Amino acid sequence: MSPLEPFGTRLRTAMDERGPLCVGIDPHASLLSEWGLGDDIAGLERFTRTVVEALGEHVAVFKPQSAFFERFGSRGIAVLERAVVDLRAAGALVVMDAKRGDIGSTMAAYAETFLRKGAPLFSDALTVSPYLGYGSLKPAVDLARESGTGLFVLALTSNPEGAEVQRAVREDGRSIGATMLAHLAAENAGQTPMGSFGAVVGATLGDLSSFDLAVNGPLLAPGIGAQGATAADLPKVFGAAVRNVVPNVSRGVLRHGPDPAALRASAERFADEVRSAVSGV
């Protein structure tokens, strides 16, 4: 199979055409209950189908959280497989939120699962953890280049526990998070309109001016909506890199279900707010 156009190129086009927004698909038990659905495979399937059918042709990027499907076993994975295929068929990009990280042949197997064209869970990009050393990601980096897919590397996450690792300082005086950003900038050097290797950087972290976020790649930014960050916060957090930010909203959109029109209206509102916030930067 021939490789796709590079993920960074496809992402830039999708956000320009559909709006700068990523909708997380996180079917946890409380959200299923809010929708009047059971915490079972029937509820999972109904929830997922509704989101895909309501938003698949309107939103640029979707980020299904693999764990919420995996907890139902093979039948849950089957629901996820169908969702990925249908979202991509609707013209959306899929970032699989699996946060995989290992070494050697195991990392290669994770990469094959999500980044090899023809795989049942083939996605446009994958979230990965670099905390076995950035070099441990090489099998995924290599396959992403070969297949035209992308990676989002955990760099500066919004959970409070993340700081003990990501803001720890190396012997050279640079923090671990800053080191990950530097690796990504090297991966993306010379790529236009942007590279395919991005970072996960929380939108709730406040002033990040001490970090060089200009990695010439996308910055996946969870925290918009229910976690407290707003579109208006993005320029303050991301500075000149804000145009490459992919804001992720989950509950802020999904709580408006199961009404398809309400889901679409919420997603459009978030996308418009982000577009307005970054237009002058």
What CATH number corresponds to the domain at position 111? 3.20.20.70
Residue 92 included in any domain: yes
Residue 23 included in any domain: yes
* pTM recorded for the entire structure: 0.97
Residue 201 included in any domain: yes
Q: Mean pLDDT over residues 206-227, rounded?
A: 92
Kindly tell me if the per-residue pLDDT of 153 is higher than 60.
yes
pLDDT at 228: 81
Residue 136 included in any domain: yes
pLDDT over 70, % of the chain:
98
Per-residue pLDDT tens over the stretch 96-105: 999 999 999 9
Residue 227 included in any domain: yes
User: What is the identity of the amino acid at 14?
Assistant: A
User: What is the identity of the amino acid at 148?
Assistant: G
**DSSP H or E stretch at residue 63:** strand 61-64
Residue 281 included in any domain: no
pLDDT at 135: 98
Give which of 92, 106, 96 is closest to 65, Cα–Cα: 96
- 67 lies in which domain range? 7-276
**Residue 147 in tokens:** 């297949």
Residue 161 included in any domain: yes
Higher pLDDT: 280 or 161? It is: 161
Q: Which residues contact 3 (CB under 8 A, 6 or more apart)?
A: 117, 146, 147, 148
Total tally of structural domains belonging to the chain:
1
Burial state string for 203-225 with b = 16 or more CB within 10 A and e = fewer than 16:
bbbeebeebebebbbbbbbbbbb
Distance of CA 9 to the CA centre of its chain: 16
Place of tokens 């925290």: 223
Residue 1 included in any domain: no
- For 18, 50, 96, 190, 249, the CA distances from 123, given in Å and listed in that order, are 19, 20, 6, 24, 19
- Which residues on neighbouring strands pair with residue 156, listed in sequence order? 201
Give me the sign of the Cα torsion angle 130, 190, 247, 89.
negative
pLDDT at 1: 52
Give catalytic residues, as residue numbers.
99
pLDDT at 281: 62
pLDDT at 229: 87
